[in-house]
Structure 1
Amino acid sequence: MSRRRLRFLGVGDSESINFWNTNLLLETESRRLLIDCGYTIKYALRDVGLTLGDIDAIAITHVHADHVFGLERFGYEMRYSYRRRIPLMLEPNIMSALWEQTLKGCMGRSSDGENRLEDFFNVKPISHHAFGFEGCQLHTFPTIHTPGMDTYGLIFDDDVIFTADSKPLDWLASDRSDRLILHDCSLQASNPVHATLEELIRVYPPQVRNRLLAIHYGDDLETYRSLIERELGGVAEQGNEVVWG
């Protein structure tokens, strides 16, 4: 199996101004898959020496702004500057919300007239909660986030788990593998739709916490860093990466 690299393009929550939106970049030997595409994506790519044109495909976990608002800029530049449509992978039950409730207002009409999502991207609905990218096998799983909204996390090659936005998950609390976990970690005292640091410590046993990196955190990270590093596996630092294979 060829080496895979997962770069942390951004690690911040939706309110953060010190960290970019939590978006990841899966890189194989020859291609790049962007995981989520928030409104700070151009800055995040610039910081690692890349542009929108260097991305070969995108996968979306859910339709909140810090995960999808960058698609408007991405779609327009791909269509009119790069003259290509790249694959957009997403669970079928979030497709309508992505276009009809999120992107259509700003992308539904252009100089070419009326548009569909398919006019900007090669839309690839995920089948049976799994898809492949350059030999890497990815599986989606439902998360606990905003009530009534379909949200998903991703597992990469059964080596790395990314919860995206989620409260703690019962099945993860009983996981006894050695898989690395990138887990949503709100630094607020309480949060109805994101796992708080206190919840991560309380819900997950040590054998889970010691391989868990906090991600999607706020600008007050340094206030909590010592507690995170004592109780969890550490912090997913912006610009860092994990490699496997």
Structure 2
Amino acid sequence: MSDSRLHFLGTGDSEAMRFWNTNLMLESGSRRLLIDCGYTIKYALRDAGLAVPDIDAILITHTHADHAYGLERFGIETRYRYGTRVTLYAEPDVLPALWHETLKGSMGYSSDGENRLEDFFDVVAIENHSLEFADHHLRTFPTEHTGGMATYGVEIDDSVIFTADSKPLAWIAEDRSRRTILHDCSLQADNPVHATLGEIIAFYPPEVRRRMLAIHYGDDLETHRAAIERELGGVAEQGASLVL
């Protein structure tokens, strides 16, 4: 699949100003799937030479603003400016909160009256943690993030593990494949809902960390870059991509 790439549209945490929200894009031929769609997504797409109409589908891992608030712009613009609907993938336990607790406040009513999520998107509930996009197989897995919230990461083929927002995960520590791991990496000394760099180093064996790229980091990246590059495989650089 040499014509397929996973682009790092944004790599920052929710507070970052030097980096856009951590949102990825799977590009296969002429088709493009966003993995998460935070509030900075239009800027990230602009930097990649793209815009809302260039996206075919979106997968949402959880409902925090830096992963989902860009859907408001996508839904409004595709419906009223372009007359289209983007396919929206999410786990069944993510979808109710995505509408009723996240988007309905700004999208629930319009000039057409009362709306539903399906009025803006072609909504597809992910079945059995599995979906196909273009020539790729994606599998979702639960993460350890915010208590009481449904949160997921994504595996892409046999190539990539993306934790999205998560504390360290035991099954990844035992993974002996050659897959690249894009791991949530808070640069704070302590964080109750994100894996810190110190936790990653202590939790994962060196052979796993060598396949790991830090993502979802803060503006103080350069202060920690040397440690990341010494202990992990490196940094997922904004604007870079992986060939799948």
TM surpasses 0.5: yes
Partners of 2:198 and 2:186 in 1: CA distance: 9
Partners of 1:226 and 1:171 in 2: CA distance: 27
AA aligned to 2:221 is L
AA aligned to 2:102 is T
AA aligned to 1:151 is T
Q: What SS does the corresponding residue of 2:104 show, helix, strand or coil?
A: helix
For structure 1, which segment, 16-25 or 1-10, has the greater mean C-alpha deviation from structure 2 after superposition? 1-10
Q: Which residue number in structure 1 is paired with residue 175 of structure 2?
A: 175
User: Is the contact made by 1:181 and 1:213 (CA closer than 8 Å) also made in structure 2?
Assistant: yes
Deviation per CA, 1:98-157: give whole Å up to 9, x if none. Answer: 000010000000011000000000000000000000010000000000011110000001
Q: Which residue number in structure 2 is paired with residue 80 of structure 1?
A: 80
AA aligned to 2:161 is I
User: Is the contact made by 2:6 and 2:24 (CA closer than 8 Å) also made in structure 1?
Assistant: yes
1:70 has 2:70 as partner: yes
User: Is the contact made by 1:166 and 1:193 (CA closer than 8 Å) also made in structure 2?
Assistant: yes
Cα shift at 1:78: 0.3
Q: Which residue number in structure 2 is paired with residue 195 of structure 1?
A: 195
Cα shift at 1:158: 1.8
Q: Identity rate of aligned residues, in percent?
A: 69
5+ residue gaps, structure 2:
none
Q: Which residue number in structure 1 is paired with residue 207 of structure 2?
A: 207
Q: What SS does the corresponding residue of 1:93 show, helix, strand or coil?
A: coil
1:226 has 2:226 as partner: yes
AA aligned to 2:138 is L
Partners of 2:151 and 2:158 in 1: CA distance: 19
Cα shift at 1:3: 3.3
AA aligned to 1:118 is E
AA aligned to 2:62 is H
Cα shift at 1:2: 5.4
Q: Which residue number in structure 2 is paired with residue 33 of structure 1?
A: 33
Q: Which residue number in structure 2 is paired with residue 5 of structure 1?
A: 5
AA aligned to 1:74 is F
Q: CA RMSD in A?
A: 0.7
Partners of 2:12 and 2:2 in 1: CA distance: 30
Partners of 2:40 and 2:212 in 1: CA distance: 25
Partners of 2:144 and 2:132 in 1: CA distance: 24
User: Is the contact made by 1:143 and 1:167 (CA closer than 8 Å) also made in structure 2?
Assistant: yes
AA aligned to 2:203 is V
Partners of 2:189 and 2:6 in 1: CA distance: 30
Provide the aligned length of Structure 1 versus Structure 2: 244
5+ residue gaps, structure 1:
none
User: Is the contact made by 1:90 and 1:126 (CA closer than 8 Å) also made in structure 2?
Assistant: yes
5 Å matches for 1:1-245? 1=1, 3-244=3-244
AA aligned to 2:81 is S
User: Is the contact made by 1:20 and 1:44 (CA closer than 8 Å) also made in structure 2?
Assistant: yes
AA aligned to 1:173 is A
TM-score (norm 2): 0.99
Partners of 1:173 and 1:160 in 2: CA distance: 15
Partners of 1:157 and 1:105 in 2: CA distance: 36
Cα shift at 1:65: 0.2
User: Is the contact made by 1:2 and 1:29 (CA closer than 8 Å) also made in structure 2?
Assistant: no
Partners of 1:231 and 1:95 in 2: CA distance: 37
TM-score (norm 1): 0.99
Partners of 2:10 and 2:69 in 1: CA distance: 14
